[in-house]
Amino acid sequence: MRASSFDAACRVAYKELLDGVRHRAGYVTMGMFALTVIAFMSMSLAGDMPDARQAATLYWIVLFFAATLQGERLFAEEAAAGTLLFLRIYVPAQAVLFGKMAAHLITLLVLSVIVMPLVIVLMDAMFMLDAAFLVVLILALWGMAAADTLLAAVASSASVRGGLVPVLLLPSMLPILLPAIAVTAGSTETSLFGGILLYDLALTVGASILFDALWIES
């Protein structure tokens, strides 16, 4: 992106995060969803300790569905308020895409920091919180944010919006979620990191190409 587009993307990301803090409904919904699911699973185990694979699966499932809750709001609020036209006129398409993607990624990173201690405490789970986990967390959330942002833009221009993002997001996230679960559970295969990185790059480039056409035609 050019310098002007980069500045515009930063402003879009800042506005997105500021709106989320002001309204708080989306953030509260994500937090309550995560807490409810983890607490329910903890009570259902009745004191039994889950193995590393089960705990890692729960962690990423919570992050995935919480991401869809937030992702559906990325363009829906502008569409409902009728301000999408102003974005199309005054803000470059790539700045909108990467600004909202960056804001969504930051939100998911904050959520992941909140969810991790909940899983550890309520599920009595044991995670290897090392550099490998940090790398896979950033890579997986990057891909999740890229796919979520593009699909949210598609859903905002679709005639049927309800539930469209999670339905479309799950198939595109399987190549990320499965290796992320494996690494979180303790796997040290380096090929998993390379696979996620390549998929992230493909998602980001594909989203950048498709978003231009979608932004103009919608």
Total domains in the chain come to 1
What confidence score (pLDDT) does residue 91 get? 86
CA atoms within 13 A on the CB side of 183: 26
> How far is 94 from 1, CA to CA, in rounded Å?
8
Q: Are the C-beta atoms of residues 103 and 12 closer than 8 Å to each other?
A: yes
State mean pLDDT over 158-170. Answer: 63
Lowest mean pLDDT across 6-15, 70-79, 135-144: 70-79
What confidence score (pLDDT) does residue 68 get? 84
For residue 136, give its domain range.
3-217
3-class secondary-structure state, position 91: coil
Residue 204, token pair as written in the block: 């980001």
Assess whether pLDDT exceeds 90 at residue 134: yes
Residue 16 makes CB contacts below 8 A (sequence gap 6+) with 74, 99, 100, 103, 104
3-class secondary-structure state, position 47: coil
pTM of the model: 0.88
Largest CA distance in the chain: 56
> How far is 58 from 65, CA to CA, in rounded Å?
11
Neighbours of 168 (CB within 10 A): 19
Q: Are the C-beta atoms of residues 115 and 137 closer than 8 Å to each other?
A: no
Among 14-28, 94-108, 149-163, name the most confident range: 94-108
Lowest mean pLDDT across 66-75, 87-96, 175-184: 66-75
Neighbours of 48 (CB within 10 A): 10
Assess whether pLDDT exceeds 70 at residue 109: yes
CA distances from 193 to 67, 88, 113, 136, 169 (A): 21, 36, 20, 7, 20
Q: Are the C-beta atoms of residues 139 and 196 closer than 8 Å to each other?
A: yes
What is the rounded average pLDDT for all residues in the chain? 84
> How far is 107 from 114, CA to CA, in rounded Å?
11
Lowest mean pLDDT across 21-35, 56-70, 166-180: 21-35
> How far is 45 from 57, CA to CA, in rounded Å?
15
Residue 8, token pair as written in the block: 């515009």
What confidence score (pLDDT) does residue 99 get? 93
Which residue has tokens 């221009």? 157
What confidence score (pLDDT) does residue 164 get? 62
What confidence score (pLDDT) does residue 3 get? 47
What confidence score (pLDDT) does residue 45 get? 76
What confidence score (pLDDT) does residue 217 get? 64
Q: Are the C-beta atoms of residues 148 and 67 closer than 8 Å to each other?
A: yes
What confidence score (pLDDT) does residue 158 get? 58
